[in-house]
Structure 1
Amino acid sequence: MAFQSNVISSQPQVSATQYTVSSGSSHWSSNVCDCCDDCGICLCGAFIPCILGCKVAQDNGDSCCLPFLPGAMIALRTSIRSRYNIEGSVCDDWFVMACLPLCGLCQMAREQKLRR
């Protein structure tokens, strides 16, 4: 007597989803001294920087009181750079915000405006 086993193997169909992950980083959309690229931001940064700082902080999801804390604008710039995967370092952020604080603030505002 021959024993014959016909087992049908049913394997579930697996569909693979492919994701493309870009590890490349970007650059700031404008240079730190390109303040005249957006005259509204430039004027606000020149004459009422505390208001612009509050807006940049709020647009980043932080408290509007952030610009009034010592060193917080460096942290805000680092956070924005990290959020948008912009090349740079904390040292770069410190240098810009220590030497050209209003220009750095305007650059952050322009970047946020462009990437919304």
Structure 2
Amino acid sequence: MEVESSKTQADGEYWSTGFCDCFSDCSNCCITFWCPCITFGQIAEIVDRGSTSCGTAGAIYVLIAALVGCGCIYSCFYRIKMRRQYNLKGSDCGDCLKHFFCEVCALTQAYRELNNRGFDVPLGWHGNVERQNAGVAMGAPVVEGGMMR
């Protein structure tokens, strides 16, 4: 008989910073306030592990914001995805409410979370992978001297 874990998303880890700690990083807070599409695009690229580019995600955010008047409809789903990837405390409904009522705080918290997990968010996914692999030789191993017998 296999025992299933009773651990749910509500039992996960706490976020590394508070929801209202927006002003701990004034530059990101200002960028997010004036152009949330930039911060969102950077977050989405890392959460999607490079399968969505920062520019594409940001453009979709702007398009949704222009058509519906509320880009948070798109961004709350990335918060949910990120929360699940890192097993962070919260709920789907709570994520959407946070994005609806304070998009700046929600985006800057996600940005800080990724930074605190070791990502240089402005570099994007591929830039972070290159940075992580710096100094690691890629390709087949080098065999010196050939066969000796």
RMSD: 1.8
Query: After superposition, where does 1:14-53 map in structure 2 within 5 Å?
Result: 25-53=12-40
- The runs of 4+ residues in structure 1 deviating greater than 6 Å are none
1:7-62 superposed Cα distances (whole Å, 9 cap, x missing partner): xxxxxxxxxxxxxxxx6621111111110112222121122211111111112125
Which SS does the other structure have where 1:81 is aligned? helix
Q: Number of aligned pairs?
A: 94
Q: What is the CA–CA distance in structure 2 between the aligned matches of 1:113 and 1:104, rounded to whole Å?
A: 14
- Give the number of the structure whose alpha-carbon radius of gyration is greater: 1
Unmatched runs of 5 consecutive residues or more in structure 1: 1-22
Q: Which residue of 1 aligns with 2:112?
A: 110
Higher relative contact order (CA 8 A, sep 6+): 1
Is 1:66 aligned to 2:53, yes or no?
Answer: no
* Identity across matched positions, percent: 29
- Greater helix content: 2
What is the one-letter code of the residue matched to 2:38? Answer: I
